[in-house]
Amino acid sequence: TSEKQTLGFQAEVKQLLQLMIHSLYSNKEIFLRELISNASDASDKLRFEAINNAALFEDDADLKIKVSFDKEKRTITISDNGIGMSRDDAVEHLGTIAKSGTKEFFSKLSGDQQKDAALIGQFGVGFYSGFIIADRITVESRRAGLPANEGVRWESEGAGDFTIEAIDKPNRGTDIILHLREGEDDFLSSWKIKSIIRKYSDHISLPIVMQKEEWDQEKNETVVRDELETVNQASALWARSKNEITPEQYTEFYKHVSHDFGDPLTYTHNRVEGRSEYTQLLYIPAKAPFDLWDRNKRGGIKLYVKRVFIMDDAEQLMPVYLRFVKGVIDSADLPLNVSREILQESRDVKVIRDGSTKRVLSMLEDLANSEEQADKDKYATFWTEFGQVLKEGIGEDHANKDRIAKLLRFASTHNDSDAQTVSFADYVSRMKEAQTKIFYATAESYNAAKNSPHLEIFRKKGIEVLLLTDRVDEWMLSFLEEFDGKPLSSVAKGDLDLGNLEDETEKKQHQETEDQYKDLVAKMQTALADKAKEVRVTFRLTDSPACLVAEENELSGNLLRMLKAAGQ
């Protein structure tokens, strides 16, 4: 229908709009980065769809982004000739937030504007950031392949609703028209807009063009020429050589591919040649996304083939336990019409995936093993944000298990703190001379682990115990028998065999005590017949009268508790 309709925003959009205007006010120029980023994504999508349907280009295959402004009307317009939007696309994409976990994210907001404002950046704000400087946004769009009379105009003042109507739009693509708020006229300047584009969007691989403005000596004023000029470098950032890319450009590119507002923790950029030829530019974020635990969440790798965008979230290119890695992989070998199904089978993809996994692990090793305090701090941040996910790799990635084990960090009785900072190597370096095993305790919390009666004998003998309290730990331990030839041993399982850590006198004493209490043990065994499998005299306690232990190859008490809680 061509009639104008008014529709309401999804509740989360309203919340987002309000918070955003407050939180990002001091950083308002990022609206341009977000809108250019969307225009670039839209062009990537068109180029990809056109691989199998060249007619989509119509007679305009020269993809670019145009930024213009109108001083009288007080508007800034960002135009692209990318994939465009149909009416339904506009209603869906500009009226709702499609990101997974959105509801959960918003339910966590406290209502305290200051605190919530800090979270919003992490969520990513995208299109709606235009409302920081605009009190009205008009979007005019036509999807590639639809006739000229199936264009759409979407308009909103960013309060509760938006209108939508059909328009004629001869040229394919999208125009975003920002009607500036009172007091934002600073943005109506060629110089200002150009400097923002160079700062935030230089890495965009399409040309970003503007009307050329020049100083006219005779008229003694700037005049607008009937000519377009390209403002950015307009070449794919990852295809440039490393020494031509500044750290700022790497950071801005990260924000573009990740939809994250913060800076990345670290990155790696390489051109790989050999069996398979590809370029990888991979980043580790500084903060876990709110949907890190979403099982349906796909990875964060964009796949390109010879500079042509193929797909977002190419999960085949990175193992699940590295799903937090963001970036771009550009293959020189894959066919342009590659599908997710083909990716699954492809040997080239397997080579790329193995190579990229190794790259990410060595990037983490570089931080973990660095002598620089700044790197150590980065690794600590990484571990806090993503350590639990990395642990999944112990079970998932047999080939790299040993490398991953070296990257693990634990709380330990050595530190008397719940901070997970101790590596297996640290532990091994502090082992007693006669000690052959790495001892650990699992529990549902640090306090429970720390106060476990099982630790008493270890404290007395000054033997360090690793304290494992993450949900994934029990599962991980089932794949990890040893480190560096030293078996891992639970302090709560089996007959505690401290081996050479006990001297002959101790062993003799133990034997005597056991004999002495034989009758008592037998009586207790009968009394507890339906509760305990066996009653033993123990030497692992110093203060507590009794404790429960599991058999060597039984499920631990902690795991049983977790299974019960999960209804198993």
CA distance linking residue 75 with residue 501, whole number of Å? 79
Task: Decide if residue 151 touches ligand ADP (CB under 6 A).
Answer: no
| Residue closer to ligand ADP (CB basis): 231 or 438 | 231
| Residue 174 site contact among Mg ion, ligand ADP, none (CB < 5 to 8 Å, cut-off depends on kind) | ligand ADP
Q: Is 127 annotated as a binding residue?
A: yes
Stretch that binds ligand ADP, among 123-131, 202-210, 271-279, 484-492 (CB under 6 A): 123-131
Q: Is 340 annotated as a binding residue?
A: yes
Task: Decide if residue 257 touches ligand ADP (CB under 6 A).
Answer: no
The helix (H) or strand (E) run that includes residue 114 is helix 113-123
Task: Decide if residue 80 touches ligand ADP (CB under 6 A).
Answer: yes
Query: Which residue has tokens 């031509």?
Result: 244
319-332: burial string, b at 16+ Cβ within 10 Å, e else: bebbbbbbbbbbbe
The gap from C-alpha 397 to its chain's centroid, in whole angstroms, comes to 19
> What type of residue sits at position 335?
P
In the list 23, 38, 280, 331, the residue contacting ligand ADP (rule: CB under 6 A) is 38
Find residue 215's DSSP bridge partners.
222
Task: Decide if residue 93 touches ligand ADP (CB under 6 A).
Answer: yes
Stretch that binds Mg ion, among 31-39, 55-63, 484-492, 533-541 (CB under 5 A): 31-39
Question: Using an 8 Å Cβ cutoff, are 464 and 425 in contact?
Answer: no
Question: Using an 8 Å Cβ cutoff, are 32 and 117 in contact?
Answer: no
| Residue closer to ligand ADP (CB basis): 140 or 315 | 140
Cβ at position 126, least distance to ligand ADP in Å: 2
Question: Using an 8 Å Cβ cutoff, are 291 and 368 in contact?
Answer: no
Tell me the three state secondary structure of residue 27. helix
Cβ at position 37, least distance to Mg ion in Å: 5
Task: Decide if residue 100 touches ligand ADP (CB under 6 A).
Answer: no
Q: Is 80 annotated as a binding residue?
A: yes
Cβ at position 197, least distance to Mg ion in Å: 16
Question: Using an 8 Å Cβ cutoff, are 236 and 311 in contact?
Answer: no
CA distance linking residue 556 with residue 443, whole number of Å? 10
Task: Decide if residue 126 touches Mg ion (CB under 5 A).
Answer: yes
Task: Decide if residue 83 touches ligand ADP (CB under 6 A).
Answer: yes
DSSP state of 422: E
Task: Decide if residue 298 touches ligand ADP (CB under 6 A).
Answer: no
| Residue closer to Mg ion (CB basis): 82 or 126 | 126
> What type of residue sits at position 35?
L
The helix (H) or strand (E) run that includes residue 164 is strand 161-167
| Residue closer to ligand ADP (CB basis): 31 or 238 | 31
List residues forming the annotated binding site for ATP: 34, 38, 80, 85, 99-101, 122-127, 174, 340
Summarize as ranges the residues that interact with ligand ADP (CB under 6 A): 34, 38-39, 41-42, 80, 82-85, 93-94, 124, 126-127, 174, 259
- Contacting positions for Mg ion (CB under 5 A): 38, 126
